[in-house]
Structure 1
Amino acid sequence: MNYPLYEYSLCIALPLMIFFGVYFLLAPTPDRAIFANYLRSRRIMGIAILLLAANYAVHFFFGIRFHNVNAAILMNLSTYFLCYWLFSSALTTLLDRFYVTGRRFAFHLAAWMLFTLLSAFILLGLHGGPTQKAGLTVMAAWLVCYGIWLARRLIRAYRRAVRLFADTHSDDIGAYIRWLSIFTYWAVIFGVGCGLLTFLPDRYVFVWILSSVPFYIYLFHCYQSYLLFYERVEHAMESEIASEDEILSDAGTEPEPEPEMPSHLTEIAGKIREWIAADGYLHPGLTIKELADTLHTNRTYLSGYIKATYDLSFRDWVTDLRLEYAKRSMLRHPEQNIAEIAEISGFVSPSHFTRIFKEKEGVSPSGWRRSRLENDPIS
């Protein structure tokens, strides 16, 4: 093994992981009850990172890899299995405060103990040969499948939350939790990669150590950034996501069937036309509950009507209305800049308006206005 490269990689990764783990455990958050779930999630993540740091420390200070390769592999496998559960629990908790329960904790703890005992028997009880290789293959497959299963639950919870936000909020609340999806896929690749690298020759060990550095830096950055938006997301979740069963019990990710529509569809349609004519959709932070209260109707029926009539989620429907208003404003008031147009049209920021506009029209707002005014100038 290239000892200096191995040791230098540990010297880089270990201090960072200790810092991140301790920070996640002890750093303060705003002293308000709504941040309790964020703090719980961050502490679970801190414990996971410190467990991995302890693993690195054993490698660094005791050189277990050089004295007993099988013992090092056993320690790695056991640590990864436990940390898979902790990582997924920390992230899923951000989407569902009821996720971590005593029953679920006992199940995963028992699974970890069984996995560790079987791995110990294969690595330390068997002495080479095809039987040990077959056993290690089974344990590696178990670890990979376990990680993918946990990630699938997290992705389902994420998609469920995004879908609910799209159906109930005009602003793109789902954008604030998009990092959870990105990090989950990265975590699967990283976790599976680390598990496989455990079995590779010694000269490649430094790869999984160095690969952890950008991984944990990104995680730290995401948690810090999410703190700025967490309160808004949590408020939305409090009203839209009632329990873990509602989030995670679905067999798939398809929306639930809409309820039957009431007989007074004509009345709802008329109220919506009046609301659109009065530019009610320009109200920032509009929710479907607020609209239902304004129209004096049930929000479930209102959501079903919007989907049935426009084939759009509530957010996409409101966004289309705002975009059309923005287009009219850009042509009627060419002296106004894009930031002013975005504000009066109900968008949360000029950058958000520009991004949505380019997605819909294939061109920037300023480019669209310039082209339209050149071809059809308004006096």
Structure 2
Amino acid sequence: MNYPLYEYSLCIALPLMLFFGAYFLLAPTPDKTIFANYLRSRRIMGCALLLLAANYAVHFFFEVRFRDVHTAILMNLSTYFLCYWLFSSALTTLLNRFYITRRRLRFHLSAWMLFTLLSGVILLGLPEGTTQRAGLTAMATWLVCYGLWLARRLIRAYRRAVRLFDDTLSDDIGAYIRWLSIFTYWAVIFGVGCGLLTFLPDRYVFLWILSSVPFYIYLYCSYMNYLLFYERVEQALEEETPSAEEAAADNPCNPDDMPDREARPGHTDLAARLSGWIAADGYLHPGLTIKELADTLQTNRTYLSEYIKATGNGSFRDWITNLRLEYAKRQLLRHPGQNISGIAEAAGFISPSHFTRIFKAREGVSPSSWRRSQLGNDPIS
């Protein structure tokens, strides 16, 4: 094996892991109560990174890979199993502050100890041969399935949060947590890849080390960037998750109070009130929520949400976005000299770039190109 290449890769990865882990554990956050959950998540992630750094340090200083390969594999498998749980817990906590419970903690720690014990028996207690290979295959399958199960739970939590935002908020709050989805899929690929690299011949083991560098850099940058948006996301989760009293009010027991796919007498009245609200350009208000609109129309938000979906307008955010886009189109034609940023702000979009992205996705061209084509200055072929 090319030992210098292996050592150089560890020299690159180990300081980064130690820095990221220590920073996540010790770096301060804004002195606000709302950041307590973010700090908890980051500290869990810091523990995971320091655990991985300890694994790297043992490989680097004691060269355990070359002294006893079975011990090295056991150490790697045990570390990955525990880190899978820590990683998924840290990220899921960002979306559900009540995710970590004593019962969950006991279950996953017990599973980790059982996994480590069985792996040790197979690697250190069984002679090399068919039986050991079969046992290692079973443990590797368990590790992969465990990681996929945790990833599935995280993706489900992410999708629930996005649905909540889309059904209750006019702004695209889901864009601020999209990195969680990207990181989860990357983590699955990386985790499975590292598990496989553990069993590769020694001359390829440096790939296991180097592959971690971009992965953890992305994680660090994502956590730091998320700090800028966390307060807004957490406030949205707090405000738009109804309490038990609100849920009871929003979900009346009488089925005649709930909308269905066919028109009800109450729909006509609600449609009239909505038409008046739209005519008054009420949808231009930045940060609009379905609760605010329901209060304005003197109805409950569950009824309003079901009505919007029943009339084919999609989620609340989709409906508001369509209204804002139509308003922006009218402004583009009425005011040919006005810049795109001003129109985006007037239409209620969170930023000009967000407006341009949404507009291009719907129309296939940028707002400025669309305006030129409509005014006859630059027709689209």
Q: TM-score range by the shorter chain?
A: over 0.9
AA at the equivalent of 1:283 = H
Q: Which runs of 5+ in 2 are unaligned?
A: 244-256
1:168 aligns with 2:186: no
1:214 aligns with 2:205: no
Shift in Å at residue 214 of structure 1?
0.5
Within 5 A, what are the aligned runs for 1:267-278? 267-278=269-280
AA at the equivalent of 1:286 = L
How far apart, in 1, do the equivalents of 2:229 and 2:160 lie? 19
Give 1:250's aligned residue: none
Shift in Å at residue 375 of structure 1?
6.8
Q: What is the RMSD computed on CA atoms of the aligned residues? A: 1.5
3-state DSSP of counterpart to 2:336: coil
Within 5 A, what are the aligned runs for 1:287-326? 287-326=289-328
Structure 2 residue corresponding to 1:350, chosen from 349, 352, 357? 352
Give 1:231's aligned residue: 231
3-state DSSP of counterpart to 2:338: coil
Shift in Å at residue 111 of structure 1?
0.1
Within 5 A, what are the aligned runs for 1:63-74? 63-74=63-74
Give 2:267's aligned residue: 265
3-state DSSP of counterpart to 1:264: helix
Moved over 3 A (4+): 258-263
AA at the equivalent of 2:238 = E
How far apart, in 2, do the equivalents of 1:58 and 1:41 lie? 26
How far apart, in 1, do the equivalents of 2:324 and 2:127 lie? 69
User: What is the TM-score normalised by the length of structure 2?
Assistant: 0.93
How far apart, in 2, do the equivalents of 1:320 and 1:133 lie? 58
Q: Identity of paired residues, percent?
A: 79
Q: Which runs of 5+ in 1 are unaligned?
A: 244-257
Give 2:20's aligned residue: 20
Give 2:333's aligned residue: 331
Shift in Å at residue 127 of structure 1?
1.3
Give 1:109's aligned residue: 109
Contact 1:17 1:50 in 2 (8 A): yes
Deviates more, 1:368-377 or 1:45-54: 368-377
Contact 2:372 2:378 in 1 (8 A): no
Q: Provide Cα deviations, 1:182-215, integer angstroms capped at 9, x if missing partner.
A: 0000000000100111011001110010011000
AA at the equivalent of 1:278 = A
Give 1:240's aligned residue: 240
How far apart, in 2, do the equivalents of 1:47 and 1:242 lie? 33
Shift in Å at residue 311 of structure 1?
3.5
Contact 1:18 1:50 in 2 (8 A): yes
How far apart, in 1, do the equivalents of 2:75 and 2:288 lie? 52
User: What is the TM-score normalised by the length of structure 1?
Assistant: 0.94
Contact 1:310 1:317 in 2 (8 A): no
Within 5 A, what are the aligned runs for 1:49-198? 49-198=49-198
Contact 2:369 2:378 in 1 (8 A): no
Shift in Å at residue 310 of structure 1?
2.7
How far apart, in 2, do the equivalents of 1:169 and 1:361 lie? 23
Q: Provide Cα deviations, 1:145-178, integer angstroms capped at 9, x if missing partner.
A: 0000000000000001001100000000000000
Shift in Å at residue 265 of structure 1?
1.2
How far apart, in 2, do the equivalents of 1:375 and 1:265 lie? 44
How far apart, in 2, do the equivalents of 1:298 and 1:25 lie? 43
Name the CA shift for 1:242/1:82 in 2 (closer, same or farther; >3 Å).
farther
